[in-house]
Amino acid sequence: MPVNEDDPRRFLHPETIAKITRLELRARHVVEGFISGMHRSPVYGHSIEFVQHREYTAGDDIRHLDWKVWSKTDRYYIKQYEAETNLRCHLIVDVSESMHYGRGALNKYAYGCTAGACLAYLLLRQQDAVGCITFDSDVRQIVPARSQMTHIDAIVNAMHVSKPREKTDIQKILRRATETLHSRSMIVLISDLLIDREPLMRSLEMLTQRRHDILVFHVLDEDEMTFPFAGTTRFEGMEDPLQLLCDPRALREGYLEALDEYLTEVRRGCTRIGIDYHLVRTGDYLDAVLTKFLHHRMDDRAAPAAARARGPQ
């Protein structure tokens, strides 16, 4: 079926959503939320999991007094429980001109927006709150985080109207996100990361210092990964006016070595500061990419719980 480029909901692939909706997207770290949900909160409340006692103070709800402790100590203690809260997620989607490159079924822009829309759909289905920021050299669209299922239309429309047109300035955008996103959240950056490594890592580290849970989807086209060109070819910059006419076979080995070095440094840098990094190609089946990613997040969440259940060896 042909894709209607004028329809914002083209980013919601029914087949992809059908395959991932059985999975949950959980925050790997503790996040702050605002209504009852499925994720751990650092705020103590009155859910079913007991955490600790504290001494009673005037104004506390006496329904949570521990009478067994009182009978043994003659002192009043309140039971504290770990509240459950739902996740607040912010999608930060690169819509710069370089994201428009691609010769396959989906260019990087369409692939990244589709991945973001499917994750947003899944989170909203879990009654989590999702917002969206699209950017190139500046912020193009901001959609505040909301948890209503109908909010998906605002998110995909923000991606739809943010047509690729200018250079990427991730450092500027992430600095702004650091300054404006005060509550700890899950932040999903979707970009081709065509930026120098040092400012990129500095920008990401600013967010991790605020204890956000950061996920990076590094989207690259198959051509960028394999450099399959042959014969005299003219290369044109998508974010600058440079042009190069050459035999690409003479450049391929050096290009692939430089790319491998770059990807290794980005991956290691993200690992060092605790960022969940995923390199994806536009030729990869999106449902397989998202399913693998969601299983990975669930496994990360289950491992600490299993260790606690076993206890010290």
Q: What is the pLDDT of residue 1?
A: 46
Examine the domain organization and report whether 161 and 56 are in the same domain. Answer: no
Confidence (pTM): 0.78
Examine the domain organization and report whether 140 and 79 are in the same domain. Answer: no
Given 85, 105, 120, which residue is the final one in a domain? 85
**What kind and span of H or E run contains 170?**
helix 170-180
Give a yes or no: residue 313 inside a domain. no
Q: What is the pLDDT of residue 40?
A: 63
| Residues 190 and 219: beta-carbon distance below 8 Å | yes
Segments of the chain with pLDDT less than 70? 1-5, 22, 26-52, 57-61, 80-85, 164, 166, 236-241, 299-313
Total Cβ atoms within 10 A of residue 188? 24
- Give the angle subtended at the CA of 153 by the CAs of 151 and 156, to the nearest 5°: 115
Examine the domain organization and report whether 171 and 236 are in the same domain. Answer: yes
Quote the CA–CA distance of 33 and 42 in Å, as a whole number. Answer: 9
Give a yes or no: residue 1 inside a domain. no
Examine the domain organization and report whether 102 and 232 are in the same domain. Answer: yes
Examine the domain organization and report whether 13 and 134 are in the same domain. Answer: yes
Give a yes or no: residue 2 inside a domain. no
Give a yes or no: residue 251 inside a domain. yes
Total Cβ atoms within 10 A of residue 295? 11
Examine the domain organization and report whether 166 and 264 are in the same domain. Answer: yes
Examine the domain organization and report whether 106 and 234 are in the same domain. Answer: yes
Give a yes or no: residue 234 inside a domain. yes
> CA-CA distances (angstroms) from residue 231 to 224, 234, 251, 258?
17, 10, 12, 21
Examine the domain organization and report whether 71 and 55 are in the same domain. Answer: yes
In the three-class reduction of DSSP (H, G, I as helix; E, B as strand; rest coil), residue 79 is classed as strand
| Residues 41 and 32: beta-carbon distance below 8 Å | yes
| Residues 62 and 103: beta-carbon distance below 8 Å | no
Parent domain of 54: 39-85
Examine the domain organization and report whether 18 and 127 are in the same domain. Answer: yes
Q: Counting beta carbons within 10 angstroms of the beta carbon of residue 258, is it exposed (0 to 12), middle (13 to 18) or buried (19 or more)? A: exposed
Non-local CB neighbours of 202 within 8 Å, separated by 6+ positions: 171
Q: What is the pLDDT of residue 63?
A: 76
Examine the domain organization and report whether 153 and 292 are in the same domain. Answer: yes
CATH code at position 100: 3.40.50.410
